[in-house]
Structure 1
């Protein structure tokens, strides 16, 4: 049961909604104005016998006056308020914040899910649950929805935008969205519901989460250093994903406002400057109830909607659990459109006469599932005493009928190796070095935190946690490090430099800040430092303006050193020492050969030359030969430059020479224009390279290879 609002503030608002004064109510009740004033100022409350008269005067029932959990039905009707044009003649071609992101549902998933993680209610220990619903409307369902959002009132504004669409990027998108809806007779809604979250609390205008999301731009009220967002830009992805620039909102609050928590509803429209019937409008508009406290009662505010209204607006929530529902009207995703076209044959085979629209929403569904599994696998993983922070799912409907059943994103399906690594860390089953399949190795890597304010020195060393395990086929790209901090969203994905070819595929996870453990030294300070090092996309750590202002222009070098420490630790864990006569060497010897010493004419005299001493090779995904070679260096003061030459082994005639696509030094040498120059006094050198597959005369799998090391330029 909701706790009703105090009588005085509730009555004051109802009088404003009904357009009555305190004196007029007093006259209707046969009481003095002082008596009504005492109710308004909370100095007294009316007697029970007077409650019925008050209900009659307000045009409502006695129960509404007693419970005060909703406004009376008397009042100004729900309408759209369009912000007037600037008096100084200024014009906006759209919301600049929306230009920071592409109209991409995978970007949307990343930003909105991050926001839900930041708003999770932590007291109960349960994860925040986020569900994405794709819903295509056609026919009568579409007509009913347009009536619910008062489309006839909006039509002149959309027409004005379409007339000037050629001059504005936003205008072109909106014009295409309107034409698509009417020409194809379809509209895609994308709703994001979160549960066990704080909801849009606070006043309509004063500082608070509601005003930060609905009224303001570039304002972030995220609390805690572990929060993901910091720029106040993430919410702009909601409007950027709408081809109509429209988002409707229904929030269930964790803290009552005006004595209520359920069905706080408002809509916001983002359009460029326009003129309708000679009247200029600045851009944004809001759907709500006119606020009688504003001049002319023109500005609208949120309202407490009834269940029938939220159902007509497709905003019905599943439970009374706190959280917010965002409905993106006219959701569009260019990547899904392209994917839908490429998958058309498969969809037709499975579903008979599947049309373009259904293929589009199926592709959108797949891309959402993929993005959630890729970016939030760690937040959805638990183990030991650590519980998951997040649950996500995606479902797809068409006119209320199920197209794709609700699909819960399972991190063990999307990221099996990384989830295994994280669980091993939580459960304390990691090892120092990988010796068996399925093991997870742990190393600590130092993040040396700088002093703030441009001061020289180190605040302290934060021990990040590096986890390494063997890769599985379902992990995607192998040999990558996923880095994350407090809210466990993947921030950075990077490869490891200096790996020899032929290394066993692996996956690595770097936990820093509170992700490494809340009791780890300098965890909070690391969170604050790395959060400042993230751009608005939150997809890397590096130099940012905030990092420079709060620390120094060289503070990002600390992150570079962390990356170096991580790469060194990974190489130490995954690169195996060479062993002569191994099974892999025996297999490679059949395909890859080194000319025998006896094959070359014996030198009567002359300087000692470097010699090939070991080889490792495999065929890459592009059909190229990938080779790692070891070179034994003689004990001489000066080593000549040598050129590695790769040839196809043939039965007769000269061996065709292949070109190198890549040739890099690993140890004891440098590569300059395809020539190896060895480090003085080194006894061993390693280089690696890959051939240019486009120049192979025959299919790589059918060839044998010869690698030679020639003096000078190799000719």
Structure 2
């Protein structure tokens, strides 16, 4: 408090009329001032008697708030925007997925399900002008104009956002609230939830087994703002500075820019200037009126955090207008968190999700609470049966849910952590029959502790005429068995997830943490789950369903391809059979690629192929990168132009290829990689 008021202990002692030693005792908790001295202290510090009595920081008046921008580094370095934001596409799908997962991770221990509430506000007219005034838009806009360089991706987004605001004179806000969560606890600048979210980049700080491991999830919030602007209001589960309500702050994420003769690194913070750290803004303790003007009013008293995205939009272009954004959020939450919204006798639901929309304070679309059994009837029934302990080992009724297991072979960690148990984890595979109205039947859905959908894919090579189904693979701590093997599997699977947490693959984290072969065990685990589904759906010898239907229809469903003479289907183009490899010590992908070669060619025809590596990150199209080196291994040779000429008699060729790190749009650990094969326009003699 003394620092905030610019006073020393001696200054306070002189003002109150005591010795510096007495003040030192008060500051360090060795003594407590008498009531009359407490009032004198409050007067000297310019706070209320209640603030002084409870040793809490006073609430700040709106006229104390400022935007403070980080000065550019002295070495002349420049950043064209927040690096973390480039790991995600600026879509509402990604936003809802990342923000809700973070809320689940912050759920209070032994508390009710966290409520993840999404609220859209469209502002125009007086409502818009009042909000812009409250957020200090005049200063923000000046810096956005300076940073909106059309030669940069971020600059083009900023310019487009400003032009839209001026042309339509309306602004969309999206507030993401969570309740029954920890809130942004911790000190202003030290280690804690507040600093990790508001001040730091690429700092997850999460305990083992929780959702994220890259510290990238929060970047999706800033990426979903046309201006890179997010405000926060938090109710803390653990008080900080004697307070727990209305901890408010804001962060603006701009690229490097020059404004009024000064150079700025890009980031800026909205708050009270810190008396001890020059050119730094602290969060402030606000009041109900200020929170309301900033559209940060929390609708429940439970602890948690509200994050307001200013200029919210769907960068993918799939959702436009208030109604379209509302529908997109409902769809994304339903698709990704239906399992987390299911509760049973053995475990509660982890989250409740809702969406609402307003236009200038008037309800346009009422708050909708998503019902998992309505949006995913078969899958939700499967998880419900597991959580209630009502699964079966042999199905005798269509409404029953079959439970079996799939093994994940664990690998030892490089840090010397000993192997656990038998070295394998027994994941739970659930299979439920699907109704005829099921929109996407025959899928296998993967998930771990948070029960967020990691990936859902259609199972191939199924028996012809099989009954529609949905399968769910619960791995790691989602199995509820509490064994060391489950905990070890949780960590291994977590390390295998890319930044989007949308698959289990080989990652730099997996390679760096586990002994050789971890990636292969992950792939075998997924393949084993699919194969188990196929085996369970394959009818046994002599087995027939009671309700199989008319004999003629049954026979038609069992028919394969007609066994008559005819032309064979010819593979016209080279195709990739397999891609294996991992990240090397430089961050490059080192791959072994096997390519199938089309037949029915003349042996004299020289087939020249061009392998093209492609990075996949976020939810957009893959980005082509370059090779550093291509090394032929089997039945192929390198051409002068860097392509591969195939042996005319080969049915497949193999080569090794290493990507060029300088061509990577993001670091290798933040991406997946694939290889496209094209016919090269090169004559080889």
**CA–CA distance in 1 between the matches of 2:483 and 2:193?**
31
- Any residues of structure 2 matched to 1:583-598 within 5 Å, and which? 586-588=551-553
Q: Structure 1 residues 559, 30: closer, same or farther in 2, change over 3 A?
A: closer
Q: Structure 1 residues 457, 307: closer, same or farther in 2, change over 3 A?
A: closer
**CA–CA distance in 1 between the matches of 2:526 and 2:543?**
33
**CA–CA distance in 1 between the matches of 2:202 and 2:406?**
35
Matched residue, 2:402: 441
Counterpart contact for 2:445–2:472, Cα < 8 Å: yes
Listed one character per residue, the Cα deviations across residues 335-379 of structure 1 (whole Å, up to 9, x for unaligned) are 4x5454xxxxxxxxxxxxxxxxxxx11111111111111111111
SS of the residue aligned with 2:423?
strand
Aligned equivalent of 1:56, options 22, 43, 62: 43
Listed one character per residue, the Cα deviations across residues 531-585 of structure 1 (whole Å, up to 9, x for unaligned) are 1111111111111111112223421221222223222321222233587999657
Aligned residues: 574
Aligned equivalent of 2:486, options 501, 507, 523: 523
Q: Normalized against structure 2, the TM-score is what?
A: 0.78
Quick check: 371-380 or 490-499, which moved more? 490-499
Counterpart contact for 1:414–1:475, Cα < 8 Å: no
Alignment partner of 1:132 is 2:93: no
Q: Structure 1 residues 83, 521: closer, same or farther in 2, change over 3 A?
A: closer
Counterpart contact for 2:406–2:428, Cα < 8 Å: yes
Q: Structure 1 residues 660, 159: closer, same or farther in 2, change over 3 A?
A: closer
- Any residues of structure 2 matched to 1:84-233 within 5 Å, and which? 84-124=71-111, 126-162=112-148, 165-225=149-209, 227-233=210-216
Counterpart contact for 2:495–2:509, Cα < 8 Å: yes
Q: Structure 1 residues 35, 660: closer, same or farther in 2, change over 3 A?
A: closer
SS of the residue aligned with 1:616?
helix
**CA–CA distance in 1 between the matches of 2:60 and 2:515?**
58
Counterpart contact for 1:104–1:241, Cα < 8 Å: yes
Q: CA deviation at 1:428?
A: 2.4
Counterpart contact for 2:60–2:284, Cα < 8 Å: no
SS of the residue aligned with 2:140?
helix
Alignment partner of 1:471 is 2:438: no
SS of the residue aligned with 1:375?
helix
- Any residues of structure 2 matched to 1:519-558 within 5 Å, and which? 519-520=482-483, 522-558=485-521
**CA–CA distance in 2 between the matches of 1:539 and 1:239?**
20
Counterpart contact for 2:463–2:534, Cα < 8 Å: no
Q: Structure 1 residues 566, 72: closer, same or farther in 2, change over 3 A?
A: closer
Matched residue, 1:303: 284
Structure 1 portions without partners, runs of 5+ = 1-12, 341-359, 590-613, 618-626, 632-641, 647-657, 662-670, 676-715
Matched residue, 2:625: none
Q: Structure 1 residues 330, 565: closer, same or farther in 2, change over 3 A?
A: same
Alignment partner of 1:575 is 2:575: no
Counterpart contact for 1:17–1:74, Cα < 8 Å: no
Alignment partner of 1:628 is 2:560: yes
Q: CA deviation at 1:136?
A: 0.6
Q: Structure 1 residues 521, 502: closer, same or farther in 2, change over 3 A?
A: farther
Matched residue, 2:425: 462
Counterpart contact for 1:289–1:301, Cα < 8 Å: yes
Counterpart contact for 2:54–2:242, Cα < 8 Å: no
Counterpart contact for 2:252–2:269, Cα < 8 Å: yes
Aligned equivalent of 2:412, options 446, 451, 455: 451
SS of the residue aligned with 2:491?
helix
Q: Structure 1 residues 37, 567: closer, same or farther in 2, change over 3 A?
A: closer
SS of the residue aligned with 1:628?
coil
After the TM superposition, which parts of structure 1 deviate over 6 Å for at least 4 consecutive aligned residues?
A: 454-458, 578-583, 658-661, 671-675
Q: CA deviation at 1:117?
A: 0.8
Q: CA deviation at 1:468?
A: 0.6
Listed one character per residue, the Cα deviations across residues 225-254 of structure 1 (whole Å, up to 9, x for unaligned) are 2x1111000000000000011000111111
- Any residues of structure 2 matched to 1:295-694 within 5 Å, and which? 295=278, 298-335=279-316, 337-340=317-320, 360-453=321-414, 460-473=423-436, 475-520=438-483, 522-577=485-540, 586-588=551-553, 616=557, 628-629=560-561, 643=565
Counterpart contact for 1:269–1:286, Cα < 8 Å: yes
